Structure 1
Amino acid sequence: MSDDGRSEERRSAEGQPAEKRESDGRSALVENIAVALLAITAVLTAWSGFEASKWSGEMSISFSRASTQRIEATREATRAEAARAVDLQVFGIWLEATAENNRPLEEFARERFTDHFAPAFDEWLEARPLRNPDAPRSPFALDSYVPPGEVEAAQADARADEYFADALADNRRGDNYTLLTVLFALVLFFGALSNRFGSPRKSWLILAGAVVLLLVGTGFLIAFPKII
């Protein structure tokens, strides 16, 4: 371009009203802030999506562990029921022998009491159940009777409850990050909309709203637990 052309453009720009130059400057400032806002929000949105995905994975793992412990609890409970059934059968033989005053059969049954049933049986006999109306109705009603597998089943159930509670907490955390991505999507929407208005006042108002939403979302992002 010739020197005459550049001089003419310079004179034309200098001849513009001050209000017009000020308006163009504000528009450029709004656009620059909006670009920076969009860039920051895009990064935070990606990070929120990453955290939501990680917490979803943790939820699945916890649910799987809870299911495994439920299966373990069922297996141990079945073992306890089988042991209880054997004790019931032998105890029934002892009761029958005692009622018939059959000493050999009574001793035969007592010798076959299991290690976990014998202490409860002795405690029950000490309570004199045939004479004492307040005595326990059977050895199986005593706290000292604990068939194998009963404690293990209760422990596995407790672990399953813990894992299930962890899974629900992980699901809630993942949902929080998903909602956060929605909030950041609003920031992107308003940030992109801010420079679409002819009125500088409206542009600044929309941009200010986007900044407020970004600050709120960033606060939540900092406060939420994270998996790196």
Structure 2
Amino acid sequence: MTDSGEDGSKAFDVVCVFVLSITAVLTAWCGFESSKWGGEMSIAFSQASGARIEATAQEDRANSARQYDLTIYTEWVRAVQDDRPALRQYVEDRFTPEFRVAFDAWEAGGREAQGPFKMAEYVPPGTREAAELTERADERFDQALVNNQRGDDYALLTVLFALVLFLTALSQRELATPMRRALLGLAIAFGVAGLLIMLTFPIKI
């Protein structure tokens, strides 16, 4: 009877050590993954910020080009109103290539639009680049949020595994055998649940 009790106690202790060891490894792994995804989050946020800065620079470039075209177009309108063909031609020769495309389309359309600037053909330099960079910044920002959530998910698992360690350690206290077994069983249940959840998470090495 005594030998049986001692064997049962030893088996219980072995299971406790096994649970503690595995849980310690899983906790360390979760900490590692949380750190890696935190790093990926920082990189994505940095890339998003860089793209935003570049997009702003391209938008300034487009606005400057638009302002220049507007100034030239204003002079063209004045030359037309004053009926000065020579000045009109002089101004037209100074149209930028981007404005020239829109102006020609406006002329071909019978000048029905409210001006060349309303034409779809008018795309000042920097406009497309700004749109592409803004889209890239939005994508990297969204990815950063995803990476942040992944890091948080792994961090939350460390809390669950800490509970497993706590319950396992508690089961080794001098308590009634049914209580010790119940605590260990609960610890194993939480540990298995945590492991199954962890297997659904993406891994970053």
Please point out which of 115, 127, 130 is paired with 1:138.
115
User: What is the one-letter code of the residue matched to 2:65?
Assistant: A
- What's 2:59 paired with? 77
Give a deviation string over 1:8-31, Cα, whole Å, max 9, x none.
xxxxxxxxxx3x554443332222
1:95 and 1:89, CA in 2 relative to 1: closer, same or farther beyond 3 A?
same
Question: Which protein has the larger Cα radius of gyration, Structure 1 or Structure 2?
Answer: 1
User: What is the one-letter code of the residue matched to 2:84?
Assistant: N
- 1:149 equivalent in alignment to 2:126: yes
- 1:158 equivalent in alignment to 2:135: yes
Deviation at 1:121, TM superposition (A): 0.6
Q: How many residues align?
A: 205
2:199 alignment partner, SS class: helix
1:66 alignment partner, SS class: helix
- What's 1:115 paired with? 97
Q: Report 1:43-54 matches (<5 A).
A: 43-54=25-36
TM normalised by structure 2 equals 0.96
- What's 2:21 paired with? 39
Segments of 5+ residues of structure 2 without an aligned counterpart are none
- What's 2:44 paired with? 62
141-150 or 25-34: bigger deviation: 25-34
TM normalised by structure 1 equals 0.87
Deviation at 1:123, TM superposition (A): 1.2
Segments of 5+ residues of structure 1 without an aligned counterpart are 1-17, 130-134
- What's 1:132 paired with? none
- Aligned-residue Cα RMSD (Å) equals 1.1
Give a deviation string over 1:55-78, Cα, whole Å, max 9, x none.
101100100000000000000010
Deviation at 1:125, TM superposition (A): 1.5
1:196 alignment partner, SS class: coil
Deviation at 1:128, TM superposition (A): 2.3
User: What is the one-letter code of the residue matched to 1:219?
Assistant: L
- For 2:14 and 2:96, locate their aligned partners in 1 and report how far apart those are by CA, in whole Å: 83
Q: Which runs of at least 4 in structure 1 moved beyond 4 Å after TM superposition?
A: none
Report the identity percentage. Answer: 44
